[in-house]
């Protein structure tokens, strides 16, 4: 039931495919927005590759326009004041550039990767807890993942986003609270029914391929 | 890696993805994930939930000079490009080596009697992590738990009323579990244990009493 359209981003860069992202609002705004975002995930991957391979500043500007306001809102919801969140957002977005060679699009969407950087930065700044990280897979940028694996993972990430958006309100609220740091471990144990089977299988496949490539 | 049978719970992996797990539990998660691709895939699928929420979540406008400030950070950081940590092979996975300051030989064991040794690792408040060294064949008398106790096998194995736990297996015990773990006779057992209950006399170690044969 789309009743109106709103232009939310207009980025004239060297990449024609990202010049316009139109979001729709209507009686079911959340779903409408998602429907219009088809293929975004793959687009962000392409832009990040342009940053990694060519230090493409207009590609970075497009990523920034989309992700910086989301990171800032996430940090504010997680308890930072606006000034601190703005400063932290700059650090998170800078990491997007400086760590671009570490991003594996067969295992994560750009949104997911940005989320993990923002989350880790939030933990660092809180200084209460150190976050132990798993061992890196001994994998280098020369092992470019298979393009089809990348496409399927990116599509699956969008499916997951859609599935979360259409969960019953109560369940969705609980998940949001968990990720904004408002739930304890035992409260999180009450959350069930997240549809993670398919994306987990895709990530597992990508891990198996990496292991085989190394063997 | 193929023989791991006992994995992390969804609640632990989701809290880890949300960044709210106490550091000691986070260390067990990161160490297990380093040894288990199945849980690595599950952990990364929970990251994808965070990515989905970031993507669909609210936005907060950044200031006009935010992008320029970010570009300045990037130029400063360019000199020191971040690389993956080199993987140091050992019995202890990398996240644990970071806490110990090396592999097995670097652990500063303290005797707890009867050949049992422990080494408490420095983590933030909320939960405690320690390494346990249990001689082959030794048993721990019946003990209950307060709170949650995670036990990850790093070397050797132990058996209790519930099952057999070998290298990489993690036992997630809550208050209901009363058990008598016995180290496998084949090899001395080394575990990483974390609990969110205050350390107390009746917990695992000090009560570790008689050799296996007396049970
Ligand atoms: Zn596992």
User: Is the CB of A185 less than 8 angstroms away from the CB of B22?
Assistant: yes
Nearest CA in chain A to B78: A98
Which residue in A69, A107, A200 is closest to B61 by CB distance?
A69
Answer yes or no: are the C-beta atoms of B185 and B137 closer than 8 Å. Answer: yes
Q: What is the pLDDT of residues A17-65, one digit of tens each?
A: 333 333 333 333 333 333 345 578 999 999 999 999 999 999 999 999 9
| Boundaries of every domain in chain B | 1-215
Q: How far is it, in rounded angstroms, from Cα B98 to Cα B109?
A: 16
What residues of B are in contact with residue A91 (Cβ under 8 Å)?
73
The pLDDT assigned to B99 comes to 95
Q: ipTM of this model?
A: 0.88
Answer yes or no: are the C-beta atoms of B102 and B78 closer than 8 Å. Answer: no
Which residue in A30, A89, A120 is closest to B66 by CB distance?
A89
Given a cut of 50, whether residue B212 has pLDDT beyond it is no
Tokens of B46: 């929970």
Interchain CB contact of A211 with B (< 8 Å): yes
Q: Which residues contact A108 (CB under 8 A, 6 or more apart)?
A: A116, A153, A157, A203, B44, B47, B48, B51
Pairing of strands B189-195, B149-155: antiparallel
In terms of phi and psi (left: phi > 0; alpha: psi -120 to 50; beta: otherwise), the region of B95 is alpha
For chain B, what's the residue count?
215
Given a cut of 90, whether residue B160 has pLDDT beyond it is no
Query: How far lies A103's CA from each of A9, B155, B202, in Å?
Result: 25, 33, 46
Q: Indicate the pLDDT class of residue B7, thresholds 50, 70 and 90.
A: very high
More confident residue, B53 or A16: B53
The pLDDT assigned to A53 comes to 94
Q: How many helices (H) and strands (E) does chain A have?
A: 9, 2
Q: How many CA atoms lie within 13 A of A185 on its CB side?
A: 22
| Model pTM above 0.80 | yes
Strand partners, B211: B138
User: Is the CB of B40 less than 8 angstroms away from the CB of A109?
Assistant: no
The pLDDT assigned to A37 comes to 53
Residue of A127, A198, A69 lying closest to B66 (CA atoms): A69
- What SS3 state is found at A9? strand
- Return residues with CB closer than 5 A to ligand 1 (ion): B 7, 36, 38-39
For B86, phi and psi rounded to 5 degrees? -65, 140
The pLDDT assigned to B215 comes to 31
Given a cut of 50, whether residue A207 has pLDDT beyond it is yes
Q: How far is it, in rounded angstroms, from Cα A50 to Cα B98?
A: 34
Q: What is the pLDDT of residues B96-146, one digit of tens each?
A: 999 999 999 999 999 877 788 899 998 887 889 999 999 999 886 555 667
Set out the domains of chain A in order of their start, with CATH numbers.
2-214 (1.10.1740.10)
Q: Indicate the pLDDT class of residue B11, thresholds 50, 70 and 90.
A: very high
Q: What is the pLDDT of residues B21-61, one digit of tens each?
A: 999 999 999 999 999 999 999 999 999 999 999 999 899 99
Least Cα separation, residue B162 to chain A (angstroms): 22
The pLDDT assigned to B204 comes to 53
The pLDDT assigned to A93 comes to 98
Q: What is the pLDDT of residues A94-128, one digit of tens each?
A: 999 999 999 999 999 999 999 999 999 999 888 77
Residue of B161, B55, B151 lying closest to A37 (CA atoms): B55
Which residue in B21, B46, B125 is closest to A185 by CB distance?
B21
Given a cut of 70, whether residue B81 has pLDDT beyond it is no
More confident residue, B86 or A67: A67
Portion 19-48 of B in contact with A at CB < 8 A: 19-23, 25-27, 29-31, 33-34, 37-38, 40-48
User: Is the CB of B49 less than 8 angstroms away from the CB of A98?
Assistant: no
| Ligand 1 mean position, distance from CA B42 (Å) | 9
Strand partners, B133: B117, B190
Q: How far is it, in rounded angstroms, from Cα B11 to Cα A71?
A: 24
Q: How far is it, in rounded angstroms, from Cα A88 to Cα A152?
A: 32
| Ligand 1 mean position, distance from CA B32 (Å) | 6
What is the rounded average pLDDT of the residues A170-174? 92
Interchain CB contact of B94 with A (< 8 Å): yes
B1-215: CATH topology is Jelly Rolls (2.60.120)
Portion 52-91 of B in contact with A at CB < 8 A: 52-63, 66-67, 69-71, 73-74, 77-78, 81-82, 84-85, 87
Q: What angle do CA B101, B102, B108 make, to 5 degrees?
A: 70
High-pLDDT (> 90) share of chain A, %: 61
What residues of A are in contact with residue B12 (Cβ under 8 Å)?
185
């Amino acid at each position: 039931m789309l009743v109106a359209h709103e232009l939310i981003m207009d980025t004239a860069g060297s990449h024609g495919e990202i010049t316009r992202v139109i979001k729709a609002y209507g009686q079911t705004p959340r779903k409408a927005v998602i429907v219009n975002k088809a293929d975004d995930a793959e687009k962000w991957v392409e832009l990040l590759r342009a940053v990694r391979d060519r230090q493409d500043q207009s590609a970075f500007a497009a990523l920034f326009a989309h992700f910086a306001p989301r990171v800032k809102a996430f940090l504010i919801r997680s308890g930072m004041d606006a000034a601190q969140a703005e400063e932290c957002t700059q650090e998170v977005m800078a990491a997007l550039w400086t760590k671009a060679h570490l991003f594996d699009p067969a295992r994560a969407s750009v949104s997911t990767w940005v989320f993990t950087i923002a989350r880790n930065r939030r933990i660092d700044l809180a200084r209460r807890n150190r976050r132990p990280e798993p061992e890196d897979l001994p994998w280098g940028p020369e092992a470019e993942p298979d393009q089809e694996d990348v496409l399927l993972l990116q599509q699956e990430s969008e499916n997951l986003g859609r599935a979360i958006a259409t969960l019953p309100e109560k369940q969705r609220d609980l998940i949001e609270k968990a990720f904004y740091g408002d739930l304890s471990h035992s409260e999180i144990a009450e959350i069930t029914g997240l549809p993670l089977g398919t994306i987990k299988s895709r990530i597992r496949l990508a891990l198996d391929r990496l292991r085989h490539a190394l063997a | 890696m193929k023989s791991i049978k006992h994995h992390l719970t969804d609640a632990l992996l989701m809290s880890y993805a949300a960044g709210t797990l106490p550091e000691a539990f986070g260390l067990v998660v990161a160490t297990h994930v380093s040894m288990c691709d199945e849980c690595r895939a599950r952990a990364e699928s929970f990251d994808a939930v965070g990515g989905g929420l970031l993507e669909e979540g609210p936005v907060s406008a950044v200031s006009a000079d935010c992008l320029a400030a970010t570009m300045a950070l990037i130029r400063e950081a360019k000199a020191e490009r971040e690389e993956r940590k080199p993987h140091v092979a050992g019995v202890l996975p990398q996240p644990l080596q970071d806490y110990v300051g090396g592999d097995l030989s670097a652990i500063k064991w303290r005797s707890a009697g009867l050949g049992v040794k422990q080494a408490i690792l420095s983590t933030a408040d909320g939960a405690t992590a320690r390494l346990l060294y249990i001689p082959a064949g030794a048993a721990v008398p019946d003990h209950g738990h307060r709170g949650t106790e995670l036990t990850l096998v790093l070397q050797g194995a132990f058996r209790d009323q519930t099952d057999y736990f070998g290298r990489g297996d993690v036992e997630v015990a809550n208050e209901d579990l009363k058990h008598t773990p016995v180290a496998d006779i084949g090899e001395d057992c080394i575990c990483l244990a974390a609990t969110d209950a205050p350390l107390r006399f009746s917990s695992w170690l000090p009560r570790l009493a008689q050799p296996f044969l007396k049970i």
